Amino acid sequence: MEKSKQIQIGLLGLVALLLVINIFGGFKGLFGGGGDSDLRANARQNAATPTTAVTAPTPNAAAPTTKPAEPAVPAGPTTTISFDETEYDYGVIDEGEKARHTYKFTNSGKEPLIISNAKGSCGCTVPSWPKEPIPPGGTGTIDVEFNSKGKKGKQSKRVTITANTEPAQTFLTIKGEVKGKPGTDTGGVKPTAITPKSPSKK
């Protein structure tokens, strides 16, 4: 009888221990402790969640183009330039003739004048200029030649002077009218040769 009571007490203790373990397991689940099964569930959930791909910004295909390099203005102090005239009208010339003019200028400032470039608005207009510095009060000339080959009608060409002046560019104009060569301007009508008929025999 004593022995059976001890067995019953032992069994009751074992059941009580199992209940305690189950209760603590429930508390563990309530407080976020899920053990290995929770870890596996979290891993499955993370794998099923789509990830957002981060794409690098594409470079701008229409990048701004750089401007062509302009002639450099001489560094240092600036001066002023004064022309006797900045525009010349050569009147009427025949196609193929060359019109020339000399533009006279004065360094009207207090520093040496350095002309770094002179350029015509097209290949038919060619300037030439002094390359050495012009002292204050000194004078110089710029020669401009216009070739009328292939040109007809009223013409106006510009020459851009770049120097250590303020502003850095000065403009000269050569203009006039170019007449077509005799026999070439027919108003768009092509001349045809007229051959005399031979007298008919009776």
CA dihedral 26, 27, 32, 36 (to 10 degrees): -50
Q: Look at residue 11 and give its three-state secondary structure.
A: helix
Half-sphere exposure at residue 29, Cβ-oriented, CA atoms within 13 angstroms: 6
* 152 and 98 inside one domain: yes
Domain assignment present for residue 67? The answer is no
pLDDT for the residue 134 = 97
pLDDT for the residue 81 = 96
Beta bridge partners of 171: 160
* 161 and 87 inside one domain: yes
Domain assignment present for residue 131? The answer is yes
> Residue 164's domain is classified under what CATH number?
2.60.40.10
Q: Strands 153-163 and 115-120, how do they pair?
A: antiparallel
Domain that holds residue 155: 81-179
Q: Give the Cβ contact number of residue 126 at 10 Å.
A: 17
Domain assignment present for residue 58? The answer is no
* 21 and 89 inside one domain: no
pLDDT for the residue 112 = 97
pLDDT for the residue 188 = 46
Give 10-residue mean pLDDT values along the chain (202 residues).
Answer: 68 76 59 49 52 50 50 75 97 96 97 97 96 97 96 96 96 96 56 58 54
User: 5 phi and psi, to 5 degrees?
Assistant: -65, -40
Domain assignment present for residue 196? The answer is no
* 9 and 93 inside one domain: no
pLDDT for the residue 17 = 77
Q: Report the domain count for the chain.
A: 2
Residue-wise DSSP of 103-143: EEEEE-SSS-B-EEEEEESSTTEEEE---SPBPTT-EEEEE
CA–CA distance, 107 with 137 (Å, rounded to integer): 5
Edge-to-edge order in the sheet of strand 98-107: 81-83, 98-107, 139-147, 125-128
Domain assignment present for residue 98? The answer is yes
* 35 and 85 inside one domain: no
Domain assignment present for residue 44? The answer is no
Domain assignment present for residue 103? The answer is yes
Q: Give the Cβ contact number of residue 133 at 10 Å.
A: 16
pLDDT for the residue 174 = 97
CA–CA distance, 85 with 95 (Å, rounded to integer): 26
Domain assignment present for residue 64? The answer is no
